């Protein structure tokens, strides 16, 4: 029973860390987008457009086209950098 609980807890922690990583990526790319447009290039459904406003660049997603593949989140250099930096800090 104890072994089962430990395995279950490990799975939950792994899942939480994955969710946390995606959340950090999404938040950092929204606020710190560099406008490189890599996310536009990799999106398989053309759901994402990078727009520039008075606050800088912002990735804008058309939810009716987005299939949730997370390619944009996984490949964004800003999101990747901050997620790694913050997750490494937690180790
Ligand atoms: S890949 Fe990231 S930094 Fe580049 S435009 Fe998209 S959201 Fe911005
Ligand atoms: S999650 Fe996938 S489909 Fe949605 S905007 Fe990002 S790359 Fe495009």
**Phi, psi for residue 58 in degrees, rounded to 5:** -140, 130
Q: Which residues contact 87 (CB under 8 A, 6 or more apart)?
A: 17, 20, 21, 24
Collect all residues with Cβ–Cβ distance below 8 Å to 26 and sequence separation of at least 6.
Answer: 73, 79
Q: What is the pTM of this model?
A: 0.82
Map out the domains of the chain with their CATH numbers: 2-90 (3.30.70.20)
Ligand nearest to the CA of 79: 1
Pocket test for ligand 2, best of 29, 51, 60, 61 (most atoms within 8 A of CB): 61
* DSSP-assigned beta bridge partners for residue 51: 58
* pLDDT for the residue numbered 77: 96
Choose the residue to mutate in 39, 41, 48, 63 for probing ligand 2, maximizing ligand atoms within 8 Å of C-beta. Answer: 48
Per-residue pLDDT 10s for the chain (91 aa) are: 667 677 777 777 778 888 999 999 999 999 999 999 999 999 999 999 999 999 899 999 999 999 999 999 999 999 999 999 988 887 6
For ligand 2, is residue 71 a contact (CB within 6 Å)? Answer: yes
DSSP state letter for 67? -
């Amino acid at each position: 029973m104890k072994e089962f609980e430990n395995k279950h807890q490990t799975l939950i922690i792994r899942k939480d860390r994955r969710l946390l990583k995606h959340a950090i990526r999404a938040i950092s790319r929204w606020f710190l987008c560099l406008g490189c447009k890599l996310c536009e290039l990799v999106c398989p459904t053309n759901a994402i457009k990078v727009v520039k406003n008075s606050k800088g660049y912002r990735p804008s997603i058309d939810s009716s086209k987005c299939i949730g593949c997370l390619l944009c989140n996984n490949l964004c250099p800003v999101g990747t950098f901050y997620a790694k930096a913050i997750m490494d800090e937690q180790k």
